[in-house]
Structure 1
Amino acid sequence: MTLTGPVLLHLLLLLLPVSARYFGHIAENSPVGTPVSGVLLPGGSHLNATLTGDYASDFRLVHHRDHRLGLVSAKALDREFIAMYQLTVQLPRGAAAVQVEVSDRNDNIPRFIGGNRTVEVHALTPLGTELARFDAKDGDAESNGRVTFYASPESHLLHVAPQTGQVRLVRSLLGVRQATLRLCVRDGGSVALIGDPVFLHLNVHRSGNPRKPRAVREDVVLSVSVPQQAALGDLLFTVPDQRFQQRWFQMLSEADSPVQIERDSGRVYLTRDLLEPAEVLLKIHNSRGKKRGSL
């Protein structure tokens, strides 16, 4: 008897041993019936295969025309609920372990931890002072879950550190009674999701006994966060404008700092790769017409 090609292939698949472990992946929130990539087992349309494991009902086995078994989703999967499935396919010739990873989609909106704030601040508060620090969370993974803070609209009085949520004073509060900052947060998805804003309200006050205002500090120190995903040569930050008529900028961090600053413009550039987020310290000098010394 001569065996045809499909029949011969089917017999060969029946004789093949089942591999010990399979690895597959599927994007979260994929439509029901989406195949799990990387999972094809030697099976056959006549084999009685079963799927077991925690939440195995989230998937179902399907038979292919080439006499192999595949796995498809039986519901929309949520990575935040289960990121990795450990399943077992029971076959007449043994069992195969199947691990399915649910890859992340940017489907969580970042949210502030805590709401609006009101801060009492003195009119003579030094420039560079941190007035508040906000935090936010995002349920997505990796870059999709990285949050960035910013003011909308931008404020001439306050600077928001994009990576840390710090709010610092960058202009004098003399003559200001109240100020409001609208603080926003977005995630790092290719199409960024933006959360609901919060507001920082400043109530500016002076002491009971009038006194001569202090002179502006000769130096202002700022903390600048460097995002982990930045590339070499990227412009990371421009030091906010100050009331100094003449000024220059200096890096106070150690010699192997991952960034460099332009002395005259205050622009900060990344000069080496980062394995994790880092912080550098900058200093603003008020030259007021004096000869600038070397760094």
Structure 2
Amino acid sequence: MKNAILLAIILGLLISCKLPNATTDSGSENDKSEKAILPPSSVVKNSADQLTVDSLPKNVLINFQNDSIPLADIKQIQKLRILNNTSEPIVFGDDFILEYYANGAWNKTNNGRQFKSGQYSLTPGREYMVPTDLYFYSSIYRLGRYRISKPYRNSSSLSITQDQTNFATYEFSVFTPPFKNMERKVFMSLSKNTVKISELNQPIPFTIINNSYDEIFFGERQTVEKYDGKNWNKIPFDGIINDIGYSLYVGTQTSEHSLNLRPVQYKYKPGRYRLAKPFSIRNEESIKTAWKDFTLYDEFLIVP
């Protein structure tokens, strides 16, 4: 009997010791749940019972995730964040204005394509991530400063007029890191610079490296020239050239192209030759000519 009473007392003491810890754990879980639904410290409730960011200007604010976008990523859909930090609901669509900063002024780069007719509404203190196709609706093809402007209006407006439309703007830069320890220009290099007569039927791969300041464009067109001791003379070839266009961003290279000498059409002799490869960049300095044309060269020898 005494043993049973003693055992009951010990069990009672153990239970009383564990209960506070169990309550604390349960309370800790409740605290975590409450904290998870609380707004950040910079967000407060206004009289309209909506959330606004108290530390930011009372405007409609927009931004991308990063202030700098790699040029190679421009063809990807960017997410434009829109925050309504005003006290009124707003309405906006998919349209935007994109400008490039050059010669001391902002210049529009929109290409005239029609935007989708979607419409969105945003209450005060709320934000929305809008998928934005910068490449499709505008012309981004070089490094530098850009500015995107997003038109919006108060949802209380019954119709859209020029006076009722406001704009939220955001500046960002487009960049591509160039290759280090290389001159800022476009390079072309054949995989070999000595070719035997017996190897003329074999394609010769070559590499193009764009370490300039602009995206470059080129096609399948290329020529072979022979040096006669004074001048370079173009070797004529017959055949169809595929009308395929390629582009190469700054800081990138390609080795997917080859030189085909076509010995069936021309009887090569040992001597000095070169590959001539034309390429172009967009011309921003003239409205009459859309392109600036250049030519890459790399020499090779044909030996017995």
TM-score by length of 2: 0.31
Between structure 1 and structure 2, the one with the greater Rg is: 2
Query: Could you say which structure has the higher helix fraction?
Result: 2
